[in-house]
Structure 1
């Protein structure tokens, strides 16, 4: 079986991050998967209508994407703006796309309040990291999609070789 992979657009060189930049990931597996037509790209925030660039955002008070999904935490911009609804919509859009295209795996940029799956920032806007999931990563995991960070591409490659 050929598994499809939902991938953060910024990892594929698209300048969609909050700061207007990309964060391209160079790895032979990515090029092979692209050639095989296995990659489905999305920037969840762009899919929800958020602009580029946009103010940095973090999940408040050391909470996680799971907390945002359960409505016990918010996603706030450094300016104080509440972008929780946009991040929830972004996660729903990513999940819908993954399901519509048959993605069983996701490769997401770490650190993002949306896509982070190994770490996110703690809500202090001081670049303090903590273990946790962003909103999109949490929703994808909840739906049974295997989520990997950009630092785990070798693990993703191994997972793709193993039947689900």
Structure 2
């Protein structure tokens, strides 16, 4: 049975920077949980960051640029947390390897988990096309990443002939 990596916040766990969650109420996700398919992760928490914590954004770039050392992940107030985000991404990748996961559903807009959009680094609420650090690392290793708005597509990928 193919497993799927999911952002813990989407599963109702209060792990977001503000101590909240982004619970997804979807029949497909409920079925995945009942089938034992879901492996939960919050890269920031896995890397040792606190709940709550200051908001963080990728400064003028995207997850690939962070992995290449071209830009940083910075908390509001200026503290650089790049190493934590890279460590969290590595933990997520290790979970994928451990459970033979090649599909993930991660929280859109996050500097870790955003797959289509992230915030622009100015703490202004403006989103920009791009992906977070965890998504960039997972995609480099051939893992398909979907957002919580693409659960039906993720389900199709799960039930496609195995990779």
| TM-score between both structures, scaled by the size of structure 1 | 0.97
Alignment of 1:131-146 (within 5 A): 131-146=129-144
Choose which of 68, 72, 75 in structure 1 pairs with 2:73: 75
Alignment of 1:8-157 (within 5 A): 8-61=7-60, 63-157=61-155
SS in 1 for 2:150: helix
The C-alpha deviation readout for 1:91-147, integer Å capped at 9, x for no partner, is: 001100111111110000000000000100010100111111100011000011110
In the alignment, the residues of structure 2 paired with residue 69 and residue 114 of structure 1 have an alpha-carbon distance, to the nearest angstrom, of 11
In the alignment, the residues of structure 1 paired with residue 146 and residue 95 of structure 2 have an alpha-carbon distance, to the nearest angstrom, of 17
The unaligned stretches of length 5 or more in structure 1 are none
The unaligned stretches of length 5 or more in structure 2 are none
| TM-score between both structures, scaled by the size of structure 2 | 0.97
Cα root mean square deviation, aligned: 0.7
**CA drift at 1:161:** 2.4
**CA drift at 1:85:** 0.4
SS in 2 for 1:103: coil
In the alignment, the residues of structure 1 paired with residue 100 and residue 28 of structure 2 have an alpha-carbon distance, to the nearest angstrom, of 19
Q: Which consecutive aligned stretches of 4+ in structure 1 deviate over 2 angstroms post-superposition?
A: none
In the alignment, the residues of structure 1 paired with residue 89 and residue 156 of structure 2 have an alpha-carbon distance, to the nearest angstrom, of 26
